[in-house]
Structure 1
Amino acid sequence: MKFVWFKEHKKLSIAGAVFLFIVFAQSLGSHQANVKANVTSKSTSTIGTATTSTSNTSVSTDRSSTSSPVASPVAQDSSNSRKTSSGSSTTIAPAKSVVASTTTTDSGPRTSFGDGNWVVGQQIAPGTYQTQGGSDCYWQRESSLSGSFSSVISNDTVSGPDIVTILPSDVGFESQGCGTWHPLPASGTKLSSFGDGVYAVGVNISPGTYSTSGGSNCYWEMDSDFLGSTSSIISNNTVSGPVTLTIGSNVVGFKTQGCGTWSLS
């Protein structure tokens, strides 16, 4: 009986084990399926999120490009100012037409100038000017800036100090090798002796009688003004040898070239 019971219970035990194995296997299979489904679901969700994120990034980039501010051009104004990167203003001086080596000053036309071709009334002021000159000072007054011979109103070439009057009606004035021109003063120290050059009577020299030992080609000239025209000449002469002459109070300017030294008698 014991053997039969054991045999029967052994069969039952084996059958139970088989049943439990089947149940376990089904349970395990169901669990794996759930796990796989969850993994698939999570992967799909992640991919969807990534896709959505990529799409959002693209949209964000497009909006960024669209809404990015574009710098507006700086408006030009009449103050000749240029905006710097810091927002401050830097004044740019307006360009000026250059005819001679130096142009008009901020205070107006110059009253002191050197070599060049100058525009009267714009670059230099009209007036009577004097210079210490040089060995070959050339100047000319001009009715235009064409550079033609017909535009020359008057001209001269002088060795030594020189004086010229520039009228308001003159258009241009050219100076070469004359040094610096300055306004002729109303008065000054009178010279009792002098050599080649042009002198203002009553300013540089006094009226009176002067003499010189002269030379082989002595030229002298008394003038009523400093315009340099032939109509300005009161009297003149070219002589060889000693010369004595009287400069009257009616004489405005006296020019001498190649005469040596004149002395007041």
Structure 2
Amino acid sequence: MFNVTPIAIYEDNYVWLIQHQGKVCVVDPGHAEPVIEHLQKNGLTLDYILVTHKHWDHITGIAPLKQHYPLCQVYGTGHEEVPCLEHALLGGESLDLMGLTWQVVHTPGHTLGQIAFYVLDESGQGHLFSADNIFACGCGRMFEGSAEQFQASLASLVSFPASTLIYGTHEYTLANINFALHIEPNNTFTLHRQDLCTQLRDEGKATLPTTIGDELKSNPFLRWGQPDVIRAAEHHKGAPLHGPAQVFGEIRLMKDKF
């Protein structure tokens, strides 16, 4: 059985711990101690580390985890500097890990070298480890790439089935929903999500994973073709916008200042 557990680190990060067929993997371990504590508490060892990009809150735990579990293998982006990297990935690869086939997708935008991991479990359920590409009702900041690159990366990720579970790395959901409702105040699906996610956070629970289907209904960074989103972007720009990348880029600028 494919099992995914969030390990909370820092103020709002998650390290995703995956178990399947007796193997254990973590994605983007920005802090080692909570991961080691979880593994020891549950009698587990670590077999794989997957790394999406170079930012400190995604990589700081790699070296101490590798020291603690020297047999674990580190797979990550080969476009950027990643500690202890043993298997460099550029995008387009298929990996045979944990008895499953994983797809690697190059997703420039947040950083130029960021990658994402997609896998189908034996039941046919898709799982997308999206790093700082897609959050619940949001996306990462555009630190290095262009709007054209980032929008194309997002479009490639949401081409997976609508039922695909998305595991972003940050618990930004309620703030993201506030912005989404600023863009589309009459989006009833987003209003419903706000109630649901508020309850989850009040109970101390994660609002992730989300699904591609839910994001396409409520995430303004993926709704570049919707009239209300286009209207909000053009109002902010003060001029007509042409095409998804321009709309996405303007919405991203709005969020940066929100």
Point out the structure with max Rg over C-alpha: 1
Normalised by the length of structure 1, the TM-score is 0.23
Normalised by the length of structure 2, the TM-score is 0.23
Higher fraction of strand: 1
Higher fraction of helix: 2
